[in-house]
Chain A
Amino acid sequence: MSVSAAGGVTRVPAVEGWFTLGDEPHLIGCRCAACGTYVFPPRSGACPNPNCDSEDLVPTPLSRVGTVWSYTENQYAPPPPYRAAEPFEPYALAAVQLDEEGIIVLGQVPKGIMAADLKVGMPMQLETDVLYREVVDGVDTEFMVYVWAPAGPTAAKSIGGRS
């Protein structure tokens, strides 16, 4: 899956099949056709519920909104295979609880929103952001990753400049 952005840049997800791109991106998890439990990242094969012997896991979009379970902020560049920008800019991560699915999903937070802007219990919404940019076979390519951005009144700050 790829989306062409303005300026001849092609956008592709940094990992295939975990989330959609576009205006209202969402995570793709799996739901068990037999017991109804959810799992993220998406996978095939056995249902994770030990009480269920189904192997029918169906890809399904997950809720775009949730609340912060916890969060942090990296002040040092993580080691490879993370592709840290130089110079390194600190960034935050948040683990967000999705009520309907009953799971907590860890993700980055958009650049510029820091730990001081977050709080346990705060509403968050799924967006995407550029993880790294690289020319692949002559094509200028942005590799995208899902991010958790503050929802509600502060949401404008999170998506500003990345439309």
Chain B
Amino acid sequence: MSDRDLVVLGVGMHPWGKWGRDFTEYGMVAARAALKDAGIEWKDVEYVAGADTIRNGYPGFIAGSTFAQKLGWTGASISSNYAACASGAHSLQAARASILAGFCDVAMVIGADTTPKGFFAPVGGERKTDPDWLRFHLLGATNPVYFAMFARRRMDLYGATSEDFAQVKVKNSRHGLSNPYARFRKENAIEDVLNSPIVSDPLRLLDICATSDGAAAMIVTSRAFAEKKLGSLKGVPRIRAVSTVTPTYPQTILELPDFATDSTAVVAPPARGFKESLCWAAYEEAGMSPSDMNMAEVYDLSTALELDWYEHLGLCAPGEAEGLLRSGATTIGGRVPVNPSGGLSCFGEAIPAQAIAQVCELTWQLRGQAQGRQVEGAKAGITANQGLFGNGSSVIVSV
């Protein structure tokens, strides 16, 4: 085990759903579950890295202190992070930096959210210089508009079909069936997806992930602390890499919430696009390769985006994701199951909790505790996640 690895001592989640309650209620359930799973007391936690929610007032912007106070002030150090959908992984990175710098041994990473119904809309007020406000005002460019453009490119360039996209939903709906934390636990057939209404062509309602309430937390520690507590670290999941790199100029893919890409007029595009670079930075840090991965939890904001991730992760070459899906390789029982948790398809997105939830799932899988969805013999897995404004993450966990 590398000195730069962190030990995942405990994980916990509140089930995903849609209740509209105070987000801290959900967070407290996840926090208590993670502490119990780790076998430590709240008072043992020296650092709390909170992932922020921007739709829940001041407490949401200072998630680290919100949860530290809710659990009872102990003098623990805190940080609060907002990085759109990657907020949870950026919080993990903050905790990791603190532990690896030797400032603390035991950290809690936590994120919770309550979400409004319907499309994500920009924060209120008239802001004619805010691209996120303007994309709605001038174009009506909702998040599904961007997801749909990636889907359409797969169709026009690679011959993907609506049935391929629907098959991703069918697979994930089966994976999540017995996951006690998933919000949607209903098996979907191809026809269910194809009969659901088109939202942003070619994507249908069941191709697009919902927005959810939910919470996830984890306790990560230094190797020294975990060895002292557990004796042996054999079979204990550890964080091998956390990648939170930003795009490299010129960013040539039209990403949320941009009106335009960067220009390639005077600087050639980088060898790897943003999403590939997120994944490859993680592989390089861990000293591992795609073939070392036994599973992946990816950000399936839409069914078609899951297929894009197969390629960004290097599970197959560009244009081959539909073939990989059809081969069954990404289904539980296949070579590299993708979204064994059921993914966003079964959860819906609870922004600050989601990237943490991905790591929770890998942890349960690596411990052999993923009842009803177990990837047998899994030794390593990777997460991939992307949000607005050049935020994204990829985390590798292994035993």
Footprint of A on B, CB under 8 Å? 118-119, 121-122, 126, 128, 131, 133-142, 144-145, 148-150, 152-153, 156-157, 197-203, 249-250, 252, 254, 258-267
**CB under 8 Å from chain B, chain A span 90-110:** 91-93, 95, 100-108
Establish whether residues B149 and A49, one from each chain, have CB atoms under 8 Å apart when the complex forms: no
Residues of chain A within 8 A (CB-CB) of B266 are 35-37, 49
Which of B138, B142, B153, B262 interacts with A103 by CB under 8 Å? B262
A–B complex contacts, Cβ < 8 Å, 20 sampled: A15-B137, A37-B250, A39-B263, A48-B249, A48-B263, A72-B200, A73-B198, A74-B140, A75-B197, A77-B140, A78-B136, A100-B265, A102-B250, A102-B263, A103-B260, A103-B264, A104-B261, A106-B135, A115-B202, A120-B157
* Per-position binary interface string of chain A over residues 117-145, scored 1 when its CB falls under 8 Å from any chain B CB and 0 otherwise: 00111000000000100000000000001
Q: Could you tell me the distance in whole angstroms from the C-beta of A151 to the nearest C-beta in chain B?
A: 18
A-B contact count (CB 8 A): 144
Establish whether residues B259 and A40, one from each chain, have CB atoms under 8 Å apart when the complex forms: yes
**CB under 8 Å from chain B, chain A span 30-53:** 35-41, 48-51
Q: Could you tell me the distance in whole angstroms from the C-beta of B195 to the nearest C-beta in chain A?
A: 14
Q: Could you tell me the distance in whole angstroms from the C-beta of A72 to the nearest C-beta in chain B?
A: 4
Query: Which of B133, B136, B152 has the largest number of chain A CB atoms within 10 A?
Result: B152
The answer to whether A161 has its CB under 8 Å from any CB of chain B is no
Q: Could you tell me the distance in whole angstroms from the C-beta of A115 to the nearest C-beta in chain B?
A: 4
Establish whether residues A103 and B141, one from each chain, have CB atoms under 8 Å apart when the complex forms: no
Establish whether residues B254 and A69, one from each chain, have CB atoms under 8 Å apart when the complex forms: yes
Expressed in whole angstroms, the Cα–Cα distance for A53 and B268 within the complex equals 18
Expressed in whole angstroms, the Cα–Cα distance for A115 and B119 within the complex equals 21
Expressed in whole angstroms, the Cα–Cα distance for A75 and B250 within the complex equals 32
Residues of chain A within 8 A (CB-CB) of B149 are 69-72, 93, 95
Expressed in whole angstroms, the Cα–Cα distance for A81 and B198 within the complex equals 22
Which of B126, B137, B156 interacts with A120 by CB under 8 Å? B156
Establish whether residues A93 and B254, one from each chain, have CB atoms under 8 Å apart when the complex forms: no
Expressed in whole angstroms, the Cα–Cα distance for A72 and B201 within the complex equals 5
A36-B266, A73-B201, A80-B136 given; name 6 further pairs at CB < 8 Å: A40-B259, A48-B249, A48-B262, A71-B152, A74-B199, A75-B197
Q: Which 6 A-B pairs have the closest CB atoms?
A: A78-B140, A102-B264, A72-B148, A70-B149, A120-B156, A73-B201
Expressed in whole angstroms, the Cα–Cα distance for A91 and B142 within the complex equals 13
Residue of B nearest to A35 (CB): B266
Establish whether residues A41 and B139, one from each chain, have CB atoms under 8 Å apart when the complex forms: no
The answer to whether A159 has its CB under 8 Å from any CB of chain B is no
The answer to whether A79 has its CB under 8 Å from any CB of chain B is yes
Expressed in whole angstroms, the Cα–Cα distance for A93 and B141 within the complex equals 8
Expressed in whole angstroms, the Cα–Cα distance for A15 and B126 within the complex equals 12
Q: Could you tell me the distance in whole angstroms from the C-beta of A124 to the nearest C-beta in chain B?
A: 14
Query: Which of B131, B138, B149, B249 has the largest number of chain A CB atoms within 10 A?
Result: B138
Which of B140, B144, B201, B249 interacts with A115 by CB under 8 Å? B201
